[in-house]
Amino acid sequence: MRKESSQPANRRAPAAAAVGAMAIVLLAFAVGAGRAQDSAADTGITGFAPARVPAERELEQKLRAIPDAARAGENLRRLTSEPHMSGTEASHRVAEWLRDQYRSFGFDTDIVIYSAWLPMPREITLEITKPIAQKLATPEPPIDADKDSANKRITPAFNRYSPSGEATAPVVYVNYGMQDDYHTLAAAGINVEGKILLARYGKGYRGVKAKLAEDHKAAALILYSDPKDDGATQGDTFPNGPWRPLTGIQRGSIIYTQIYPGDPLTPGTPATANAKRLDPADAPSLPRIPTMPINAQDAAVILGNLGGDPAPPEWQGALPMTYHFGPGASEVHVKLVMDYQLRPVYNVIARLRGTSPDEWVILGNHHDAWVYGAADPGSGTASMLETARALGELVRGGWKPRRTILMCHWDGEEPGLIGSTEWVEANGAELQAHAVAYLNTDVGVTGPNFGAGATPSLKNLIRDATREVEDPRTGGTVYAAWREHGMAEKNDLPGTARQSAVADSSGEAPVDAIGSGSDYSAFFDHAGIPSVDIGFNGPYGVYHSAYDDFYWMKHFGDPKFAYHATLAKILGTMALRLDEADVLPFDYRAYALELEHLTTDRIRRATRDEDEQSLEPALDGIARLSISANNAAHALDAISAAPLDPAKTAPINHALASVEQAFLVPEGLVGRPWFKHPLYAPGTYTGYAAVALPGVTEALDRGDSPTLKREADALAASYARAAAKLDEVTKLAEAAAKSQAGQ
């Protein structure tokens, strides 16, 4: 628990006054930004000269008429025709099929191969030995109605990157196995050292659960899905509904992507065949204790034999028993034998070359799956194929892209974002020189509810694109359905959380921050490429199980594949706006406003004078950044009335796209140097969810004043670099305006 400050009030007054003054400045700034946005809306499409808007709208309408639900369904049926885990020949076959599809659409397409350290299971043994003897690790049974669930080539459920190992020990139930749960156990006087831990999935990345178990010197970790979280408590279970049956198992990687993603033996460098590699014993991202997943039925056997005190009410799941801490007389034997080898991963890279080949718009999705992967990731893959087909049809009709469009399908995402990370590490300098933005989709469709995450400068691009696309269920726009659902979800939150969420979105449809957990991570967190992640969601309990297959999608996720086609239209609309814009549609005023809220919030959280003083330079930095963003926006407005020659806008657009890179901290976050972005990153103890201002936030949470000082200084320098880049945008735009006036 953080202590309240005991320092004299007058020592805290300067920072508090600065926060108040900044709030006044930014209020005026926000009003100006709002007026500018209204003005942009009145004139048509952000980033387009009014004279070019009719042609752009016509082009977008042509594109949105092409994606077809039936074709998307056919794509998904082909993609889910066999299990295709990364590192297998089946994954190679999917990559070859994707390559051929893109070539048929008119894209220049190749397969790029990396060589990654990947395990496959040889032996998985779990049995309870006391007070009863029973073999566990029960496989998912076939479902009569779903023939794909009976395929003999389904790999037994395992946690990728678990080491081989064997342990026999008493069991302790650790709830979700997250940091606060260990505090509860310690307060209850329970020592987990040398024990086998049982944790339920949820509340954080499974790799964080494994790392915490390792840090607490557990002998092994067993993970299971409780029906309270994604099973019968939520609704009907598969095959009668979309939720996880008691027999369903969530596979998943436990590699420590919160330290760095990608091949564990080549951090920061591409995993080519001849790359210099770490010894596995020295790889920081590799777990050290055996970890395995089981179904809820097997977990019930273990939980039913635990002793000790009853766990707190918030630790109780939905299995028919009282959950106890353990250990009691229970004892479990775990044995895992893993086959680690260098195995190939196959990225598919397709290019549609534009008239300005030095500017790239990149779309991406992964193609490897734990089993069939109908939702994760096949729905996104099927939709992207329809986007690509639509773009190809436009080219056949005479359209020539202004910028080069790359469409990428990554392999090895499920083990640890491997394919995308290695590609970014191999092409980092070129990407930073040419990439405009990266648009990601992963679990593209599990229901009708649109959701998005993005760097703040691209949030309005998503909102604007969804205003143009019809929602299949409501007949209105996707944006209207998205906003209505988002506000309804906020109304279900507790009071303070609801007020915060509504205030953050300012009445607009909510766009989340991006952390990690999908292939945008290397682009955004490491290379500073502005990034977006979008998809449609709904009731989805078969995540990473053998039941995430075509049958599930056809009966529950998107039976008519209408939302697959809708996702293709949104991706295509966003791609065209980025591709065809005179001036790239980045909103850095909105970005600065969001950062102002975050920076002042962190100052309010500080309970020590020295911490407040450490953060004051960041407050000064965000003030300068806000002014620079406002000046750049006004300068860009001045050149927006008439189309400019692309040669004149190229340096402006390059500077706009590189503002995100200017934020990057070359030395990275403390303890996690691969992560270069100081504004948003996955949390050390969340693994997927974004933490805003992560270095500062986590240092404050730990009460670590020396690290806070270092991270706050890095943050202030980051703001200054971005402000300087925006000042460059202003100068370039002013020069273009003078040239325009002289014509």
CATH number of domain containing 172: 3.50.30.30
Could you tell me if 50 and 126 lie in one domain? Answer: no
Q: What pLDDT sits at residue 642?
A: 75
Mark whether 440 and 312 lie in a shared domain.
Answer: no
User: Does 1 map to a domain?
Assistant: no
Are residues 161 and 103 part of one domain?
no
413 is catalytic: yes
Does any domain span residue 207? Answer: yes
Of 56, 60, 413, 414, which residue is the catalytic one? 413
Question: Residue 512 falls within a domain, yes or no?
Answer: yes
CATH of the domain at 608: 1.20.930.40
Last residue of a domain, one of 565, 580, 595: 580
Final residue of a domain: which of 580, 599, 627? Answer: 580
Tell me the pLDDT of the chain averaged across its residues. Answer: 92
DSSP-derived secondary structure letter, 155: P
Q: Specify whether 308 is located in the same domain as 421.
A: no
Task: Using alpha carbons, select from 90, 131, 421, 100 the residue that is nearest to residue 263.
Answer: 421
Q: Is the pLDDT of residue 491 over 70?
A: no
Please tell me whether residues 308 and 406 are part of one structural domain. no
Query: How far is residue 11's CA from residue 232's CA, in Å, rounded to a whole number?
Result: 55
What is the CB-side half-sphere exposure of residue 637 using CA atoms within 13 A? 18
Which one, of 223, 199, 171, lies nearest residue 333 by Cα?
171
Does residue 14 lie in a domain region? no
Give residue 42's pLDDT band: very low, low, confident or very high (50, 70, 90).
very low
Q: What integer pLDDT is reported at residue 648 of this predicted model? A: 85
Tokens representing residue 655 in the block: 């500077």
Identify whether the C-beta of residue 531 lies closer than 8 Å to the C-beta of residue 520. Answer: yes
Is residue 552 predicted with pLDDT exceeding 50?
yes
- The answer to whether the beta carbons of residues 148 and 551 sit under 8 Å apart is yes
Residue type, 606: A
Please check whether residues 214 and 128 belong to one and the same domain.
yes
Q: Is 221 among the domain residues?
A: yes
Using pLDDT thresholds of 50, 70 and 90, give the confidence band for residue 2.
very low
CB count, 10 Å around CB of 6?
A: 7
Whether residue 61 is contained in a domain is answered as no
Sign for the pseudo-dihedral over CA of 378, 383, 387, 393: positive
Using DSSP bridges, classify how beta strands 291-294 and 220-224 pair: parallel, antiparallel or unpaired.
parallel
Based on the fold, state whether residues 191 and 260 are members of the same structural domain: yes
d(CA 605, CA 700): 8
Domain co-membership, 216 together with 288: yes
pLDDT band for 742, please (50, 70, 90 cuts): low
Q: Mind listing the pLDDT tens digit for each residue in 4-24?
A: 333 333 333 334 444 444 443
- 96: domain CATH number is 3.40.630.10
Judgement on whether residues 121 and 108 belong to the same structural domain of the protein: no
Name the nearest CA neighbour of 390 among 581, 586, 646, 574: 574
**Interatomic CA distance for residues 414 and 253, integer angstroms:** 7
Q: How do residues 312-326 score in pLDDT, each as one tens digit?
A: 999 999 999 999 999
Same domain, 487 and 636: no
pLDDT for residue 158 is more than 90: yes
> What range defines the domain where residue 703 resides?
24-54+585-742
pLDDT digits (tens, 9 = 90+) for 712-729: 999 999 999 999 999 999
Q: What is the torsion angle, in degrees rounded to the nearest 10, for the CA atoms of residue 278, residue 283, residue 284 and residue 287?
A: 170
As given in the structure block, the two tokens for residue 63 are 């594109």
pLDDT for position 743: 59
pTM, full prediction: 0.93
Q: How many domains does the chain have?
A: 3
Q: Is residue 401 part of a domain?
A: yes
> Are 250 and 358 within one domain?
no
Side-chain-side CA neighbours of residue 588 (13 Å): 33
- What's the average model confidence in pLDDT over 667-690? 94
SS3 310: strand
pLDDT at 152 over 70: yes
Decide which of 324, 342, 360 is a domain's last residue: 342
Per residue in 358-403, pLDDT tens?
999 999 999 999 999 999 999 999 999 999 999 999 999 999 999 9
Helix (H) or strand (E) holding 419: helix 418-426
Q: Which residues contact 610 (CB under 8 A, 6 or more apart)?
A: 705, 709
Q: Are residues 553 and 642 in the same domain?
A: no
Residue 635 structure tokens: 């300068």
15 within some domain: no
